[in-house]
Amino acid sequence: MIKYNMLKKSLKQTNPYLKEPELGKALLYQSVSSSTAVEGVLTKYPKLDEALEKKLKEIISVHEPSASYE
């Protein structure tokens, strides 16, 4: 029998988009808002401001160089 011991890390620790607290919080709000809207529940969370939008694009360009979100 082979046992694998995996180190358990939270999504916050492993996801590069969530490592920065302010950006992570804004993205979490955005995710919750869109997910609940799919279920028919409308929420009012703020959209990403220009500074956070810029940071997100910078992070994406580093981790996904071939991705284009323009």
DSSP 10-65: -HHHH-TTTSSHHHHHHHHHHHHHHHHHHTT-----PPPPHHHHHHHHHHHHHH-T
In this predicted structure, the answer to whether residue 52 has a pLDDT above a threshold of 70 is yes
pLDDT at 63: 63
Confidence band, pLDDT 50/70/90 cuts, at residue 59:
confident
Name which of 5-9, 27-31, 56-60 the model is least confident about: 5-9
Q: Is 69 inside a domain boundary? A: no
Q: Is 4 inside a domain boundary? A: no
Q: Is 12 inside a domain boundary? A: no
pTM to 2 decimals? 0.54
Q: Is 35 inside a domain boundary? A: yes
Q: Is 36 inside a domain boundary? A: yes
What is the domain extent for residue 27? 18-63
Q: Is 33 inside a domain boundary? A: yes
Q: Is 3 inside a domain boundary? A: no
- Residues 60, 67 contacting (CB under 8 angstroms): yes
Q: Is 43 inside a domain boundary? A: yes
